[in-house]
C-alpha cells in the first residue's frame, strides 16, 4: 500500500481526488508567502517550492531533464489530452525560470543538487544520487 501525502496546486484536482492543496501564484522564484508556491510552468518547479514551504534545507533533483531525452518528452511518455506535453519552446522557458529559482534558493540557504542523469539545467550543482545519499 502506498503511504504518502498527495499534493496539488489545483483546486479542482484537490476536490475531485481528495488531495491536499498548496495554492500557487504565477510569480518567479521561490514564494515568500507562507502556504503558497510559485508555478514555474511545471510540476518539478512546484515540487521544489513545496519542499521549501515544508522547511527543507536540501533538495535532490531526479528526472529534471528539461529537454527531450531519448526522443521522449517525459520519462513515462506523452500525457493524454487535454494535458500538455513538451513543446519546442517550453524547455528553454523552464530553464530560465529555474535560473531564478536557483538564485532564490542560494539566498534562502536551500541547497539544491541536480542528480538527473541527463539535464539541460546548469543552474544547480550536479552530483550522482549515490554520492548524495551517502553524505
Look at 6-15, 35-44, 68-77, 93-102 and tell me which has the smallest mean pLDDT.
68-77
Query: Cell 508556491 appears where?
Result: 37
Residue 73, in any domain of the structure: no
- pLDDT given at position 88: 57
Average pLDDT, the chain: 89
Q: How confident is the model at residue 85 (pLDDT cuts 50, 70, 90)?
A: low
Q: How far is CA 56 from CA 4, 71, 87, 113, in A?
A: 17, 33, 31, 13
Residue 77, in any domain of the structure: no
Q: How many domains does the chain have?
A: 1
Residue 38, in any domain of the structure: yes
Q: Model confidence over 91-119: pLDDT tens digits?
A: 678 889 999 999 999 999 999 999 999 89
Compute the distance between CA of residue 51 and CA of residue 79 in angstroms, rounded to an integer: 25
Q: Model confidence over 43-71: pLDDT tens digits?
A: 899 999 999 999 999 999 998 988 777 77
Residue 81, in any domain of the structure: no
- pLDDT given at position 38: 97
Q: Domain of 39? A: 7-68+86-133
Residue 37, in any domain of the structure: yes
From the number of C-beta atoms within 10 Å of its C-beta (0-12, 13-18, 19+), residue 99 rates as: middle
State pTM to two decimals: 0.86
Residue 74, in any domain of the structure: no
- pLDDT given at position 81: 78
Residue 13, in any domain of the structure: yes
> Where would I find the beta strands (DSSP E) of the chain?
7-8, 20-21, 24-25, 37-38, 58-61, 111-114
Peptide bond preceding 82: is omega within 30 degrees of 0, i.e. cis? yes
Q: How confident is the model at residue 79 (pLDDT cuts 50, 70, 90)?
A: confident
Residue 75, in any domain of the structure: no
- pLDDT given at position 104: 97
Amino acid at each position: 500500500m502506498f503511504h504518502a501525502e498527495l499534493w496539488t496546486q489545483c483546486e479542482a484536482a484537490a476536490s475531485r481526488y481528495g488531495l491536499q492543496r498548496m495554492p500557487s501564484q504565477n510569480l518567479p522564484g521561490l514564494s515568500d508567502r507562507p502556504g503558497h508556491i510559485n508555478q514555474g510552468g511545471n510540476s518539478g518547479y512546484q515540487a521544489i517550492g513545496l519542499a521549501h514551504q515544508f522547511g527543507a534545507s536540501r533538495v535532490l533533483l531526479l528526472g529534471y531533464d528539461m529537454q527531450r531525452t531519448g526522443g521522449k518528452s517525459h520519462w513515462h511518455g506523452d500525457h493524454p489530452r487535454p494535458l500538455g506535453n513538451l513543446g519546442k519552446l517550453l524547455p528553454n522557458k523552464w530553464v530560465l525560470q529555474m535560473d531564478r529559482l536557483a538564485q532564490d534558493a542560494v539566498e534562502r540557504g536551500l541547497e539544491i543538487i541536480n542528480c538527473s542523469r541527463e539535464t539541460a539545467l546548469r543552474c544547480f550543482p550536479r552530483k550522482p544520487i549515490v554520492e548524495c545519499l551517502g553524505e
